[in-house]
Structures are given as C-alpha cells and as structure tokens.
Structure 1
C-alpha cells in the first residue's frame, strides 16, 4: 500500500513537470509567432523589444542576419555580387535595422559598400540606435569609405539625437576622417548633448593631432561640455601638451566648471600640467605660492588651514624664501 502511494506521488511530479514544459513551449511558440507578425508588418522595433525582454536577447541581436549581411561584413565582394544577382534585397535589415551597408562600412570594405550603393542601398539608413553607415565608416577609420559615402549623398552632420560621425572619428583618433567631414560642411564647433563639442571629445580622449587641427581650423577653444571646458578635460587627463596647445590658442584659465573648479584645481599636484598652467597665469600670486610650497613642504591639510585662517599676505615673502 505504501509503495503504491509513493509511485502515485512520483507520477504526479512527472506529470506536473511535463505540464510545465508544455506550457513554456506553448508560450515560446506564441511569442515567436507574435515576433514574426511584427517583423512582417514592419514593426521591427516592437519585435526587438519582445526578443530583448522575453528571450533575453541583448540589443544588437543578429538573429535575422541574411547571407548578404555576412558577405558585406566579411568583405567578400564576389559573394556579395552573386547574392545581389540572385535577387537579394540590398536594403534588407536585421531586427535592429542594421543593413548590409552598415556592415560593409564597419569593416571598411569600400568596394562592397560601393556595390551596395550602386544597387540602391540607402546611404542614410539608420539603426534603432541611431547609427548610420557614415558613423560606422568613421568608427573604423576608413577615409576612402567616408569619401565614397559622401559622394553618394550621405549627410555629414545629423540631428543631435543621432550618433555623430565626427565625434566618433575624433574619439578614435581618425584625423583624416575628421578633416573630410569638416571639408564637407560639418560645423567645427558641433556639440553633442552627451559628449560635448568635437574639441572637447578630442581633449578627453587625448587625441593631440585632432586637437591641433581643430584649433587651426578655428574651433572655439573654450566651448566644451556644459561648463566643463576643453582645458578642464586636458588638465583632468594630465595632458601637458594639449594644455599648452589650448592656452596658445587663448584658452581661459578663469573658467569654472559645474563644481566651481578651475582647470588648475584639476591638475595633479607637482605635475607638468600644474606647472604649465601656473606659468600661463603670469606672475605668481599668494594662492599659487601656497599651493606649490605647502604641498611640497607641509602637506595638503595645511593648505586648508591657510585658506580658512586667512593668513596675512606676508606669508608670500615667507614662502618665497623657504
């Protein structure tokens, strides 16, 4: 009797597991059909949302990549031409709107990109993340691809909610791509809400060549990201060469950022950046002398006391002869 009770209990457990499996399978099939419905209807954004939230697929899923995408990504020109001849649509996109042209440009495959464009690929196609083929070309640093895209009508400067090609080129130090974009009408002071001006991005990423060229082309030396100037960024990154470049072109040492700090306040103690900024400020003042001498001789805690106690200006003479 006891044995049959145990057997009955096990049977119930197996039945419950089987029922749960069937239920989950039914949900997955239903969601797959729903996703397919959205893709067919053209609402790929909703399909992407379902894939991300239900299946746990990360944004940028390549679940519906075509052979055309693969050929463009790998730079296989002959395969690409064959697929197009077989009737593949050059504007077919993945679930997140990545086209074959996006893939060709990301790899810097200029010949593949040209074939796609000659067969009607949309040169200004945008992914769900706001990425254009031109952005991808700037990301990989392919100047010939950038040139070719512009010849086919790519927009060099986009609205602020799209990813900025010139900011990406500067971020990665692709000076030639940056110069091509500027020569095609991109504003040298273009500002991105997320990253700031082009010059600011160059300073944050310590792209000295780009900083120099931007300044030569007339970039506003004090425009950065909000109240943070390019000089703040250079001081924070301990880049003395960029600090000297910026100050040579008239960068103000008197600008305070959102934390009410000057560029000098962000420089590492006793660093080449601190010395460069102090030299640019002209004749030494009491505050500067306190900062330098007390850091070396007494430590940071005493600097706080000097400011709090408002020591007399004769301290300058004392510090000068220490």
Structure 2
C-alpha cells in the first residue's frame, strides 16, 4: 500500500482512532421524528440531561384525534398568569399522552400553528420544556416541522436551547442537520456574538456539534449563521477529532472549505491521529483543496502519528507536488527544506 493511501481511508489501520466519513452516514438520513430508534432504557439513564418537569401532569387518554375537541373545550386566555392558576390535573391542558406528549406537543405535531402560539402564551416556561418519551421538547418538534413562527414564540418565551433528545440533538442540531435556516435564525436571533457558546459546544451522542452537522450536510447558510454567532470553528468531533474543516476536505466540499478558511478556521488542526486537513487533501489527491489550504498558510511539514508530512503522502504525484514550493526536496523519502 502506498503512503498516499494511508490518509485516503482513515479506517485501514487498526491503530487509527478515526473511523472515517462513513461513520457519519446515519446522521445524513432523514428519519421520522416519531419513530423510536430502539430500546431507550439504558440510554435514558445515561444521557438524561435533567429531571422531567412534568410532575404536575397526569396520564390521560388524550389522543391526537381529540386535539381539536380539547382545544375547543378549553378557554385559551392570553392572560397566562390568571389561567395558569386554574390549571389542574383534570384539565386536558395538564394531561399527557402515553407517548409523553402534552397538548402543546400535539398542536405542533398537527401543525396547528395558531393553537400552538396560544398555548405558548398560556403556559409557564417550565411547561414549554417538557420532553416526551423520545426526549423531544416542543422546540425540537417545531424545528423538525419547520414551523418558524412557533420556534420564534417558544424562544421568546424562554424555551431552552440546551435540551437534548434521545439522540443527543438539541433543536439547533436538528436545524443544522435538516437545513432549517429560518428556524435556526429565529431561535438564535436574540443572542449576541459568543453568547451561544454553551449551546454550540453541545455534542450529540455521535460526538457531533452543530457546526459538524452543518458541514456534513452542506448547509452553507447555516455554516454562515454559526460563524456569525461565534461558533468555535476548531471544535473537534468526539470519535476521531475532526474539525468541520477536516469534514469538508473529506467530502471535497470546496465552498465549505473556502467559507471555513475565511472564517478563521485553524488549517493546522490535528485529528487524534495527527492528520491535518492538508494531510487529508493530499491523501485524497484533491489538488484544488490542497492548493487552497497551502495558499492560506497550511503547514506542509507537520507530521502525523505515523511521522508523515503532507508531502510524504503526495507519492511523487507531480500535480500535487506542484502545489508546494520548489525548494522542498526529498531525501530517503523525507521532505527537507533548504535553508
């Protein structure tokens, strides 16, 4: 096997921590948000972010089909303070379904935007953050369904952006994965540069932050939004230590590479195996991206854990070698720079 192949497929070596781009494939698939993904018993114990805040809610025979009748029977006063004192366990507004959904969850699921907005004004913040059996908050569901107005109202009322569903995704993760740019803008509008840092650092159970999902799914508008909001462009995903720039290079995604470079991403960031974005670009024979990185200041002499530089991985490919300065020569397969 040639040296150049070693960084083309990061899963070839048993000693590599990196499992390659294929390990992210499941995140790219569109799954129905109502379908459970297996037994959650152990996952809930391990990953529950905080105690459920629905202790005042009682189990009910409420069904999705009865939503309209329930809403018609309830007085949806905009005087939330007065109405909240009247809520009791017998009131359908304080009931949950067998799936853990409140009436607000159901209104969002059925895309009853007006009813959802009325309920948001009615309920206190604690109710807005109730999570169903899939650990989805109303904000998660509104984002899945791209209900921008509902997302905006929830955020204004103080719904938490840090709650994670059964896959560890926050509502902003959902927006970045599915390209819900308007929803992402609505939920981050009132946050100044850098104030979203705690949310943007959250990783799902696959080790991916919002920035990683936006890069993996080629959501350029969301990448721009995250850069504007002060996302750490050098945050590493949890499985192999790749940054968003590593991921963009692996996918030969020139627009994302340009965007991340212009945003100030560290071009010499190393994965857990020591490979920089330039190592990956050269290993994949991507002349355009290798040139972009090098012209922007990437260091071609950095060595990975196998003591290889990006030049070592060029494997005498004249097109790749033409990217680098002509004063670089190799002696016994090692790159040296003439002083």
Aligned residue for 1:90?
Answer: 93
- TM-score of the aligned structures, taking structure 1 as reference length: 0.61
- TM-score of the aligned structures, taking structure 2 as reference length: 0.58
Deviation by residue 1:131-177 (Cα, 9 ceiling, x = unmatched): 10011111222110111223444223347986411111122111222
Aligned residue for 2:136?
Answer: 131
Change in CA separation of 1:81 and 1:208 when aligned onto 2, cut-off 3 Å: same
Cα deviation, residue 80, structure 1: 4.8
Query: Any conservation in 2 of the 1:203–1:233 contact (CA below 8 Å)?
Result: yes
Aligned residue for 1:168?
Answer: 174
Is structure 2 residue 153 aligned with structure 1 residue 148? yes
Query: Any conservation in 1 of the 2:312–2:335 contact (CA below 8 Å)?
Result: no
Distance 1:167 1:309 in 2: 48
Change in CA separation of 1:81 and 1:297 when aligned onto 2, cut-off 3 Å: closer
Match 1:193 to one of 191, 198, 203:
203
Distance 1:112 1:219 in 2: 34
Cα deviation, residue 90, structure 1: 2.3
Give the 3-state SS of the residue equivalent to 2:94 in structure 1.
coil
Aligned residue for 2:316?
Answer: 294
* Higher alpha-carbon deviation: 91-100 or 118-127: 118-127
Aligned residue for 1:257?
Answer: 271
Deviation by residue 1:170-220 (Cα, 9 ceiling, x = unmatched): 221112221222234461462223244322221122211111122123222
The count of residues paired between Structure 1 and Structure 2 equals 241
Is structure 2 residue 65 aligned with structure 1 residue 70? yes
Change in CA separation of 1:90 and 1:262 when aligned onto 2, cut-off 3 Å: same
Cα deviation, residue 108, structure 1: 3.8
Q: Which has more radius of gyration?
A: 1
Cα deviation, residue 127, structure 1: 1.6
Cα deviation, residue 118, structure 1: 5.5
Q: Which has the higher contact order (CA 8 A, sep 6+)?
A: 2
Is structure 2 residue 333 aligned with structure 1 residue 310? yes
Distance 1:191 1:297 in 2: 38
Distance 1:96 1:88 in 2: 18
Aligned residue for 1:280?
Answer: 296
Give the 3-state SS of the residue equivalent to 2:96 in structure 1.
coil
Aligned residue for 1:11?
Answer: none
* Higher alpha-carbon deviation: 112-121 or 164-173: 112-121
Give the 3-state SS of the residue equivalent to 2:295 in structure 1.
helix
Query: Any conservation in 1 of the 2:64–2:106 contact (CA below 8 Å)?
Result: yes
Cα deviation, residue 223, structure 1: 1.8
Distance 1:124 1:96 in 2: 16
Q: 1:53-64, aligned counterparts within 5 Å?
A: none
Bigger helix fraction: 1
Match 2:219 to one of 200, 207, 216:
207
Deviation by residue 1:41-83 (Cα, 9 ceiling, x = unmatched): xxxxxxx97xxxxxxxxxxxxxx995652355xxxxx545335
Change in CA separation of 1:112 and 1:296 when aligned onto 2, cut-off 3 Å: farther
